[in-house]
Chain A
Amino acid sequence: MSARKVRILIAKPGLDGHDRGAKVVARALRDAGYEVIYTGLRQTPEMIVEAALQEDVDAIGLSLLSGAHLTIFPRVAALMKEQGLDDVMLFGGGIIPEDDAPALKQAGVANVFGPGTSTQDIITFVEQEMARRK
């Protein structure tokens, strides 16, 4: 009853309108028992981080298919630091070439999921990270 509930923000930054992945992941996380805050399309990094702060989330998941991940993901990570959200886990998904993953991880993104990832993999990852960070 008083167990700590894990809260996750699922956000869709950038201009592209492909919210299929974000919605599928949001629903899957809900079905796995998480409280998911969904913020809708075209969120700026500032909006995302401010929402994460107000909602006191444990993790932020970004979905981006436009290819602007190298600009946007690190920007979110930097703003998180600025706001003191160091303990919040950041992960992302979309069309992200494997070559870009190291740079994103360097910037503070815990993991990136490409097309064809099963939602179970994402859930398992979130579970492990949450357990590790306790």
Chain B
Amino acid sequence: MFDKEKLAELRKRHEKWVDGTLQKSLERAPERADEFITVSSTPVRRLYTPLDVADLDYPEDLGLPGEYPFTRGVHPTMYRSRLWTMRMFAGFGTAEETNARFKYLLEHGETGLSTAFDLPTLYGYDSDAPEAEGEFGVCGVAISSLRDMEVLLDGLPLDRITTSMTINSPAAVIWAMYIVAAEKRGIPRAKLGGTIQNDILKEYIAQKEFIFPPEPSMRLVVDTIEFGTQEMPRWNTISISGYHIREAGSTAAQELAFTLSDGFEYVRWAIDRGLDVDAFAPRLSFFFNAHNDFFEEIGKYRAARRIWAREMRETFGAKNPRSWWMRFHSQTAGVSLTAQQPENNIARVAIQALAAVLGGTQSLHTNSMDEALALPSETAARIALRTQQIIALETGVTNTVDPLAGSFFVEAETDRMEAESREYFHRIADLGGVLPAIEQGFFQLEIADAASRYQWEIDQKKRIVVGVNEYSGEEKIGIPILKMDQQGYDRQVARLREIRRTRDHRAVSARLSDLRQAAAGDANLMPFLIEAVREYATLQEIMDVLREVWGEYREPVIV
């Protein structure tokens, strides 16, 4: 991109600047620290010039938006045509309560739904299971059967909105419930749009909400990919997630590298199943964190698109440009929120969200200021949504595509992210691939090391967190905290018992035994799951069948 002679000239001039102008300035005004580091503890240089991106090849490395390698965005016009989807993660208590929250958010201008499930649901337990004690409805909505799903979706325009569901181990079952609930209202599955997270690999790596061992889990994921490819063209069957990897304490580069590695692993498995890469790859979606370090994050998103496009085309031989697209959702960093002076979180969220937008996100969730304390209250959730609207409509950053391209620093960060990722790809390959690396605890240890380092930097005040280790005061919390409906649990359990009493028992056991057989063989399980939920087999009944056939996974401990 740069002329060789001019670069040489610049290099000389830079040297002179260091010895002269800079030296003098440092004598008068020394720098505040010996080293300046990103959130990921990577040093940042004082100044970036063309010398730092001397090898950048514009057509090869950046290209034009909507064209390979998509560094500048997957759409030619980006937000000038359509803003990102403002998708607020919601869910708590019973299906009724969450349904009401969904309607509230839609009324306030939200354009897509996003569902959080409670922990028993995420682990495939019914609300009244002993394992679920104390966890009902706390982190999300409880869905134990098709009936709960029907209540959750009641009155929502499923043919017009898209619904994202954050669920992994039991994703296929919950998806089956969604499909049947819609069909019972006369909406055919082909018209349904949305996303199931369904990213089991990052569960082993970071979030730890796994149930089965990796192999059968991967088979179930590929079953959903196959089913979606054949029957549900508008559905994203997986959202390959770096978010939780980052929340678990990884660096930005680890988040990127591990997520992409997971993505490639799914592609490999689906191809091994005999699927055409260009048939399924366009429906793969991603999910990244939006953390505090503004430029590092932007570099991360841009590098993500570029690496994905290159690998899909070069390594996996995809021909459909849509297979090269990396489309991603992003969410501001939950771990960056502080319980101290929680109102400060509004500012953090705004800046993180801005980074996601400048990085070209397709949809965005902004955290509520009170999330380090409890579930978001309505007011806090509204402010978070308004934050997105302000960015979209008041700041002007949406007026042009990829406005930071060409910044020496941003391009250097983008290059660094790609280089660090590729380094990790090699290390993972050396360990034998993603599954062996999981088993050896490689990811887990890398993340735990990064998390400890981060905390150490805070404890040592090498890293400042406003309101926590600097400018802290004993301010009282001034925001209302959401309290749950105490009767919710009783209502849920009553509904569950009612279903167990009134359904067609013969049909339920027949469908479950069909499922057991199919799980032991290698048929696609989606049709079996759909038939089982249709008869109101509960989530746990279904998951227990699979537990029985596949066993449960225990993680390699890495501390």
Contact = CB atoms under 8 A, between A and B. Distances in A.
Interface string A1-28: 0000000000000111111100110111
A38 B557 CA distance: 9
Nearest to B461: A118
A71 B455 contact: no
Interface stretch (B73-81, B201-209, B274-282, B310-318): B201-209
Interface string B543-559: 00000000000010101
B139 A16 contact: yes
A118 B133 CA distance: 30
B114 to A, nearest CB: 19
A71 B489 CA distance: 14
B238 interface: no
B481 A99 contact: yes
A15 B555 contact: no
A14 B208 CA distance: 12
A17 B372 contact: no
A116 B559 contact: no
18 contacts: A15-B135, A16-B119, A17-B207, A18-B207, A18-B247, A19-B248, A20-B247, A20-B249, A23-B448, A23-B451, A26-B559, A27-B452, A38-B557, A66-B139, A68-B133, A68-B134, A95-B339, A115-B335
Interface in A52-70: 66-68, 70
B55 interface: no
Contact of B134 (A14, A17, A116, A120): A14
Contacts of A84: none
A116 B340 contact: yes
Interface in A38-59: 38, 40-41
Contact of B465 (A28, A40, A99, A116): A116
B484 to A, nearest CB: 9
A24 B451 contact: yes
B448 to A, nearest CB: 5
Contacts of B249: 20, 24
B158 interface: no
A111 interface: no
Contacts of A120: 459
Interface string B216-258: 0000000000000000000000000000000111000000000
B557 A40 contact: yes
A120 to B, nearest CB: 5
B338 A116 contact: yes
Contact of B135 (A28, A68, A115, A118): A68
Contacts of A40: 555, 557
Contact of B339 (A15, A116, A118): A116
A131 B372 CA distance: 32
Given A20-B451, A23-B559, 4 more contacts: A17-B207, A68-B135, A71-B134, A114-B339
A116 B345 CA distance: 13
B258 to A, nearest CB: 15
Contacts of B373: 95, 97-98, 114
B120 interface: yes
A120 B457 CA distance: 12
Contact of A97 (B132, B481, B559): B481
What class of interface size applies to chain B in its complex with A?
35 or more
A85 interface: no
B469 interface: yes
B161 interface: no
A115 B139 CA distance: 17
Interface size class of A (residues with CB under 8 A): 20 to 34
B442 to A, nearest CB: 15
A79 interface: no
Contacts of B248: 18-20
A68 B208 contact: no
B536 to A, nearest CB: 24
Contacts of B559: 23, 26-27, 38
Interface string B467-488: 1110000000100010000000
B458 interface: yes
Interface in B128-172: 131-135, 138-139
B135 A66 contact: yes
B374 interface: yes
A17 B208 contact: yes
B209 A17 contact: yes
Interface in A115-134: 115-116, 118-120
B81 to A, nearest CB: 38
B124 to A, nearest CB: 11
A101 to B, nearest CB: 12
A97 B458 CA distance: 22
A67 B374 contact: yes
A118 B340 CA distance: 12
B138 A118 contact: no
B467 to A, nearest CB: 8
Contacts of A71: 133-135
A72 interface: yes
A66 B372 CA distance: 12
Nearest to A19: B208
A72 B447 CA distance: 27
B455 A72 contact: no
B131 A15 contact: yes
A57 B455 CA distance: 25
A17 B469 CA distance: 27
A18 B245 CA distance: 10
B200 interface: no
Interface string A83-106: 000000000000101110000000
B555 A14 contact: no
A95 B481 CA distance: 13
A46 B469 CA distance: 37
